[in-house]
Structure 1
Amino acid sequence: MSENISIIIWSKEGCSYCDDVKKYLVEKELAYKTVDVTNNDHLRDILDVKYGVRHVPVVEIGQGNVYRGVTEVGIEHLQEALDEVLVLD
């Protein structure tokens, strides 16, 4: 994966799905940053504006100002998005 690709996980404390995403990315040796929405409803407002959801995890994958948001729960959705980025990279 290109050095220019970044991954951002929007998550909250106690979210097992969020933990699964982080564990998966660590296993794949992919670096990521986290945006913690715990007790930060204004961050959920941002997710609502960007993607029409208020739940987590949301994983953003992209570079520069172009990101794809993975809003579906399940590692298979994240893998599909990563595969697309790898093909385009």
Structure 2
Amino acid sequence: MSNAFDVIVWSKQGCSYCNEVKSYLDDKEIPYKTIDVTNRDEFREILEAKYGVRHVPVVEIGKNGTYKGVTEVGLEHLIAALEQVSRKKGLAV
């Protein structure tokens, strides 16, 4: 897949939901960056300021500093967001 958009996964060590998200992205060959919030309360404060949540995983999808945050737990939410962004860009996920 081309870099038509960026994906950032906010996660923590030992989080099964975070690992599920990363495995899905790996399987689909969607490149992503990881921000590890383990023992980093300041990162959780950023999530709270941006999206009103302190939990992970949070997946940001976007380009050039404009991101949509997927804060709901469950792959169906990530898949829907990726499909929405892909339709706008004319890509297949």
| TM-score, normalised relative to structure 1 | 0.97
Task: Kindly provide the CA deviation profile for residues 30-74 of structure 1, in whole angstroms up to 9, marking residues without a partner as x.
Answer: 000000000000000000000000000000000002100000000
* Match in the other structure for 1:26: 26
Q: Considering only aligned residues, what root-mean-square deviation do their CA atoms show, in Å? A: 0.9
Letter in 1 for 2:70: V
Letter in 2 for 1:47: L
In the alignment, structure 1 residue 87 sits paired with structure 2 residue 80: no
Q: Aligned pairs, how many?
A: 89
Letter in 1 for 2:18: C
Letter in 1 for 2:27: E
| TM-score, normalised relative to structure 2 | 0.93
Which consecutive segments of 4 or more residues in structure 1 shift more than 4 A?
Answer: none
Greater relative CO (CA pairs within 8 A, separation 6+): 1
Unaligned runs of 5+ in 1: none
Distance 2:80 2:18 in 1: 17
Unaligned runs of 5+ in 2: none
Sequence identity (%): 61
Distance 1:88 1:4 in 2: 10
Cα displacement (A) at 1:4:
3.5
**Partner SS for 1:19:** helix
